[in-house]
């Protein structure tokens, strides 16, 4: 057990970390383009935050949270998602007094005790965006446009945008009455969880993944057909805004999302490349969430993307990831005098921002050069007593095999002047 990671977790190894770094950098660029600033929130929060914010009728709260008592007998929960923690921070730090809208993004690990499957882990990575203070559909359009830009920039194809509206408290209350009338004859056929939801939150039944419940609800009345005038106009504004930007969409009446805090707009970006569990990104409005969590009445909207699933889509589509920069130069050595010199030279190269390596294992020169090849070194130098005494050595281009005699005190300047983008091709092994 000591040498195996817990079920539902995984290590991200050096051989694949460049994919994550590339994705995280692209996310940060897009967020900056759209004016969203990064926020970092705690890994754990008071359990009540998720009970009130996420909703105690959701699968997350009922089945999936990692909750424990700390040494002060306080109930603490590892964050199962990011929105509730960001809302808590918005309230705690008085962000309502900032110029509105307040636009934030985060890149976090989150934790849910659920069945492990392809692209789904118990510890997972989530990129999310939250915007507070804007009431109209324009911010909905911006949020969706942001995702569209990111997916396009990453080169992802075959993604569909599905949108829906689940209304506000007023039209949802009227809808719940109709839905309960429809479901009542089949109440005993629903799963136990949905039986409990029938009185407390019947809309959640539409989101159930149990086949028998899906069969019962497939002909249920749709909330989008029962919207009040305000919610209807908001949805129409969203549709016109997307059409104005040339962003294609489908109306999917079955999207209700799995969290209690959503109102009006809900949406999903779905990939055709990862099977039945194809949702890459989901989000929507939560105009009452800040108030529920103890803050002022504040409209809000956000989305979240699971990075594991996004990477899986990219890999399935054969998208190439730029590799991280490898070793500029490897200094091979013969003898103790050369080792001491090489350590100083490598230290100075690194101070100048160059990736330099030397032998740390006492290998033969032949073994050192093999190691340099495995590192993907662009250049190499072999140092012995003669090279140090004459202050001259041969700089070898590891790709072409070409060698050029140089003064050792010019190594740093020579490497700094090389246009690495056009001359050096790096391949990590």
Give the domains, in start order, of the chain with CATH numbers.
Answer: 17-168+228-316 (3.30.930.10), 329-423 (3.40.50.800)
Residue 153 CA: distances (Å) to CA of 231, 247, 364, 402, 425? 32, 15, 46, 38, 23
The predicted structure's pLDDT at residue 277: 54
In whole angstroms, give the CA distance from residue 113 to residue 59.
10
What pLDDT score was predicted for residue 425? 40
Q: For the chain, percent helix, then strand, then coil, each to nearest 5?
A: 45, 20, 35
Q: What is the mean pLDDT of each run of 10 residues along the chain (429 residues)?
A: 88 94 97 98 96 74 89 96 96 97 97 85 96 97 98 94 92 87 87 84 81 87 90 97 97 77 91 71 93 94 95 92 85 96 95 94 96 94 96 94 94 77 38
Q: In the prediction, which pLDDT does 398 show?
A: 93
The SS3 call for residue 346 is helix
Tokens matching residue 257? 């999302």
Residue 276: predicted pLDDT: 45
> Cα dihedral sign for 198, 202, 208, 213?
positive
| Angle between helix 307-316 and 17-33 (nearest 10) | 110
Give CA separation, 236 vs 92, 142, 221, 263, 288, in Å: 34, 15, 20, 15, 21
Return d(Cα 36, Cα 131) in angstroms, integer. 9
pLDDT per position as a tens digit, 2-33: 789 999 999 999 999 999 999 999 999 999 99
Rounded CA gap, 408 and 345, in Å? Answer: 9
For residues 387 and 393, the answer to whether their CB atoms sit within 8 Å is: yes
Supply the pTM of this predicted model: 0.87
- The pLDDT assigned to 253 comes to 87
Q: Which of 313, 274, 321 has the alpha carbon at shortest distance from 426?
A: 321
Q: What pLDDT is attached to residue 260? A: 65
| Per-residue DSSP letter, 155 | T
């Amino acid at each position: 057990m000591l040498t195996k990671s817990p079920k539902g977790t995984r290590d991200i190894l050096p051989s694949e970390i460049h994919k994550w770094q590339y994705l995280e950098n692209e996310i940060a660029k897009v967020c900056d383009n759209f004016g969203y600033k990064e926020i970092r929130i705690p890994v754990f929060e008071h359990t009540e935050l998720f009970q009130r914010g996420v909703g105690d009728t959701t699968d997350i709260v009922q089945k999936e949270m990692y909750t424990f008592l700390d040494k002060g007998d306080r109930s603490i929960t590892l964050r199962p998602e990011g929105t509730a923690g960001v809302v808590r921070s918005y309230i705690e730090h008085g962000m309502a007094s900032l110029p509105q809208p307040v636009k934030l993004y985060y890149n976090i690990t989150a934790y849910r005790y659920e069945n492990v499957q392809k692209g789904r882990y118990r510890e997972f990575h989530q990129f999310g965006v939250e915007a507070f203070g804007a009431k109209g559909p324009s911010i909905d359009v911006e949020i969706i446009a942001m995702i569209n830009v990111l997916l396009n920039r990453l080169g992802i194809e075959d993604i569909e945008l599905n949108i829906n509206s689940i209304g506000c408290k007023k039209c949802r209350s009227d809808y719940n009455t109709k839905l309960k009338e429809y479901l009542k004859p089949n109440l005993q056929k629903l799963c136990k969880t949905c039986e409990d939801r029938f009185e407390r939150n019947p809309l959640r039944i539409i989101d159930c993944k149990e086949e028998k419940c899906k069969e019962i609800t497939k002909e249920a009345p749709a909330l989008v057909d029962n919207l009040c005038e305000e919610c209807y106009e908001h949805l129409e504004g969203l549709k016109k805004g997307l059409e104005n930007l040339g962003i294609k969409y489908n109306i999917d009446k079955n999207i209700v999302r799995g969290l209690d805090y959503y109102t009006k707009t809900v949406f999903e970006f779905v990939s055709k490349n990862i099977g039945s569990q194809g949702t890459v990104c989901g989000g929507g409005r939560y105009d009452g969430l800040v108030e529920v969590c103890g803050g002022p009445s504040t409209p809000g909207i956000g989305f979240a993307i699971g990075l594991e699933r996004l990477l899986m889509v990219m890999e399935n589509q054969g998208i190439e990831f730029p590799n991280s920069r490898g070793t500029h130069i490897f200094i091979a050595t013969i003898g103790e005098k050369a080792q001491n010199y090489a350590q100083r030279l490598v230290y100075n190269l690194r101070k100048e921002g160059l990736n330099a390596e030397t032998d740390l294992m006492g290998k033969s020169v032949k073994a050192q050069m093999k190691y340099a090849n495995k590192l993907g070194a662009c250049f190499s130098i072999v140092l012995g007593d003669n090279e140090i005494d004459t202050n001259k050595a041969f700089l070898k281009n590891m790709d072409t095999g070409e060698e050029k005699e140089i003064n050792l005190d010019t190594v740093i300047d020579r490497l700094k002047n090389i246009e690495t983008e056009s001359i050096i091709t790096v391949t990590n092994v």
